Each structure stands twice: as structure tokens, then as C-alpha cells.
Amino acid sequence: MTVQVKVCGTTSVHDAVLSAEAGADALGFIFAPVSKRLVSPQVARAAGLSVGPSVARVGVFLDQPLDEVLRTAEAARVSAVQLHGRLSSLYVMAVAAYYPVLRVVRPADLATETDMWHGHRGVTLMLDAPEPGGGIPLDWDALRPLFPDGAWLAGGLGPGNVAAAMTALRPAAVDAVSRLEASPGVKDPEAVRAFVQAARLAARSYPQ
């Protein structure tokens, strides 16, 4: 199985190229004003253009108005949208009418959201810690019975623990930010490379 690797919190063309050269499949651009990694749609668009169409560009939002999400996503020319927060299913479906959606869920909501989105092809679940971008790992063993096929995994992942997380849950993709940074919003090149390599290696042990 091909596992996707997403490097989140990209704030510059330089870091977009760095992550793409390290082998990332997707870059995350955070448009939530509360974030330390906030990026403008213009910079995100330039960064996306700098890596070419084979790398997915994911616009990340937290509890923002629907029109703001759609306008920002269009201005940044993202290829997918990641939705954090307490959102209605109607809201999520409205975004999914325009973009593939990564719907972010916390462990406490995993069972309900799995039932809700089962069979909706445009909506993929991403399990993340309650504080997005907080660098806190989840209890992977406790989540094993609930983790749905095809879901993505985030939450405190980095070069040193991504293999253990993948062995426990076999996610379809992994995503990280805090442990890949030299400072908030600035990538640590070695950590990004090591993260992508560790995820690729761990994916080889997935059952064929």
C-alpha cells in the first residue's frame, strides 16, 4: 500500500521546495488566524506552484466561515481542504462539493464521525490530537480497535515515532508539523527528510 506523507505548516516557497525534495506527497498551508504557522493565500499559491502538480496542496482551516474557506482555497489554488473544529455535516458536505475534504476528528469523536462519513467518497477522516499543531502524540494502542481503514493520522508525529504509530494503526497517510520545525513556521530540513524516510520505511511493513 502506498502511504501518503503530508508536511504541514508550510509558510514559504523555500520550505515547500525542501519538503517536496524530501519526498512529501502533500503540503499543508494553515489559514487559521490562531496558528503560529499562518500563511497568506498568495504565499501558499506561490509555494504550490513552486513544487508542481504532483504534490498535493492542502488548505487547513479551523472553525472559519464557509465563504472564507472557499474564497481562501480558491485564491491559494489548493487541491484539498482540511477542516478542523466543531462543524456541521452540512458545512463539511458544502466544502466537499468543491474540494476533497480531510475531516479532522479527535479521539473522543472518532466512532461517531466514522459512522457519519462512511461511504462519503469525498470526505476522508484524519485523526488528530485535540490541540492541532500541538505536538502531542495520541495513545495509538488504545485507538487501534476504532481506527477506520483509509484514515489519516496526525498528532505529535515525527522522525522518532512515526514508525511505531504506523505499526499500531496502519494509517493511509501521516501528517506532522511541530516535530519538523526549527522554530514555529520554519522547517528543520533534517527532521523533514528523516520523517519522510521513516514513514516510507514503515510503509514497507504494511501487509500487501
Ligand X SMILES: O=C(O)c1ccccc1NCC(=O)[C@H](O)[C@H](O)COP(=O)(O)O
Provide the 3-class DSSP secondary structure of residue 180.
helix
Is 81 a binding residue for ligand X by CB under 6 A? The answer is: no
Binding to ligand X in span 14-43, by CB under 6 A: 28, 30, 32, 34-37
Is 193 a binding residue for ligand X by CB under 6 A? The answer is: no
Is 51 a binding residue for ligand X by CB under 6 A? The answer is: no
User: Which three cell numbers, joined as nine digits, stand for 165?
Assistant: 504509530
Contact (Cβ atoms closer than 8 angstroms) between residue 28 and residue 199: no
Nearest CB to ligand X, comparing residues 11 and 96: 11
Q: Let me know if 25 is a catalytic residue.
A: no
Of these, 23, 100, 122, 135, which contacts ligand X (CB under 6 A)?
Answer: 135
Binding to ligand X in span 57-76, by CB under 6 A: 60, 62
Of these, 11, 22, 81, 84, which contacts ligand X (CB under 6 A)?
Answer: 84
Is 188 a binding residue for ligand X by CB under 6 A? The answer is: no
Cα 189 to Cα 165: distance, rounded to the nearest angstrom:
22
Cα 86 to Cα 192: distance, rounded to the nearest angstrom:
30
Is 178 a binding residue for ligand X by CB under 6 A? The answer is: yes
Q: Which stretch binds ligand X (CB under 6 A): 64-72, 160-168, 175-183, 198-206?
A: 175-183
Q: Compute CA 121 distance to the chain's CA centroid, rounded to the nearest angstrom.
A: 17
Is 134 a binding residue for ligand X by CB under 6 A? The answer is: yes
Cα 42 to Cα 48: distance, rounded to the nearest angstrom:
10
Q: Let me know if 188 is a catalytic residue.
A: no
User: Which three cell numbers, joined as nine digits, stand for 113?
Assistant: 464521525
Provide the 3-class DSSP secondary structure of residue 99.
coil
One of 15, 25, 128, 188 is an active-site residue; which one?
Answer: 128
Is 56 a binding residue for ligand X by CB under 6 A? The answer is: no
Is 154 a binding residue for ligand X by CB under 6 A? The answer is: yes
Interface ranges with ligand X (CB under 6 A)? 8-9, 28, 30, 32, 34-37, 60, 62, 84, 128-129, 132-135, 154-157, 175-179
Task: Please identify every residue annotated as catalytic.
Answer: 8, 128
